[in-house]
Amino acid sequence: MSYKVEPQSFSSLASLREEPRCRLEWRSVFVLPRWLEVWWQEFGAGAELCLCDIREDGNLTGIAPLKVKDGRASFIGSADVCDYMDFIIAPGKEHAFFTSLLDHLRHEGVSELYLESLRPDSAALTSLAALAKNQGHAVHFNLTDVSLDVTLPATWEEYLGMLTPKQRRELGLKLRRVNEAGYIEYGTIEDTDSVQDTMDVFMKQFRDSREDKAAFMTPQMESFFRSIAIAMAEAGLLRFGILKINGLPAAVVMCFDYNGKVYLYHSGYDPLHSHLSVGLLSKALSIKDSIARGRRIQIPTGRCGNPDSQLPDNPQVTPGF
């Protein structure tokens, strides 16, 4: 069998994804062509683009979304804004893909392959690690973070049944308290035309809600957030959840709805309503909305999320490789 590695552009990657015969698994929103492109445009300076596909006898086996700097190859992305990163591979072609990729990187003078924010089921862990060891490469793992996945039931009542008695009581108390504070609304915004105005509200509440969030949201990071919001809205994947009290936004949740999963990306709230736990309630109402839409998995993500979330979870180890 013959293997061929070809460089790709972000536009050619997007066209490839639309091909009906494309068997690649684009497993999360963070590996989609537009996401990769927006990240590269904002943060890629100083690195060399190493975006390529690998074909076996002319058939596509996978895509390596990599960048190279000082002999080190890593994913196009960064752990502070991309909760999961991965290769895009056709099922059953992992061994062929990684064998060719390692040969290609070695030929290009790459001495280190650094992969962060991997899910436990990533092919980089299930296939690449063993292959690299067999070829005599040193392989090291480090636990860097834990993500929380919530598998949603069919109804809100069933979801409440997943909570502990204490969690149900506390959530019920918080919901009653906020409803006593005034006229309460929770709605979603998805249309592209409303993105800029909604982002203005989101940015203010994100910064106001915690000091570490304000420090995180630098001008460059704000530029990325605004660009990715527009890109995901144009792709039909962006959803804002807004909790209002007496007609005014009290909390905003930024989500991506992709492939039957809802990614709870980042959130913010008005500190004037912090005593009403609007940050936590906006997440709970986002879950309720996702259940109503027939989604079955809600993935709370984001590096500056709510530290005192009391939602049920299934921890997923996120190692670096």
Per-residue pLDDT for the chain (321 aa), expressed as one digit of tens each? 678 999 999 999 998 887 767 789 999 999 999 999 999 999 999 999 999 999 988 889 999 999 999 999 999 999 999 989 999 999 999 999 999 999 999 999 999 999 999 988 899 999 999 999 999 999 998 887 777 788 999 999 999 999 999 999 999 999 999 999 999 999 999 989 999 999 999 999 999 999 999 999 999 999 999 999 999 999 999 999 999 999 999 999 999 999 999 999 999 999 999 999 999 999 999 999 999 999 988 887 654 433 334 444 333 333 333
Phi, psi for residue 49 in degrees, rounded to 5: -70, 130
Q: Which residue has the tokens 């736990």?
A: 277
Residue 137 per-residue DSSP state:
-
**Is 33 within 8 Å of 13 (Cβ atoms)?**
yes
Q: CA 269, CA 202: separation in Å to the nearest integer?
A: 8
- The CA-atom distances, in angstroms, between 168 and each of 148, 164, 242 are 19, 6, 22
Indicate the burial class of 210 (C-beta count within 10 angstroms; 0-12, 13-18, 19 or more). Answer: middle
**Is 80 within 8 Å of 119 (Cβ atoms)?**
no
**Is 90 within 8 Å of 62 (Cβ atoms)?**
yes
Q: CA 147, CA 315: separation in Å to the nearest integer?
A: 6
pTM: 0.90
- Token duo for residue 118: 């991997």
Q: How many residues belong to the chain?
A: 321
Phi, psi for residue 203 in degrees, rounded to 5: -60, -45
Task: Say which residues have a Cβ less than 8 Å from residue 177's Cβ, sequence separation at least 6.
Answer: 276, 277
Residue 149 per-residue DSSP state:
E
Q: CA 287, CA 318: separation in Å to the nearest integer?
A: 23
Q: 148-316: CATH homologous superfamily? A: Gcn5-related N-acetyltransferase (GNAT) (3.40.630.30)
Domain with CATH 3.40.630.30 in the chain: 148-316
**Is 39 within 8 Å of 224 (Cβ atoms)?**
yes
**Is 167 within 8 Å of 312 (Cβ atoms)?**
yes
**Is 152 within 8 Å of 159 (Cβ atoms)?**
yes
- Which of these, 320, 251, 318, lies nearest to 286 by C-alpha position? 251
Record: fold of 3-140: Aminopeptidase (3.40.630)
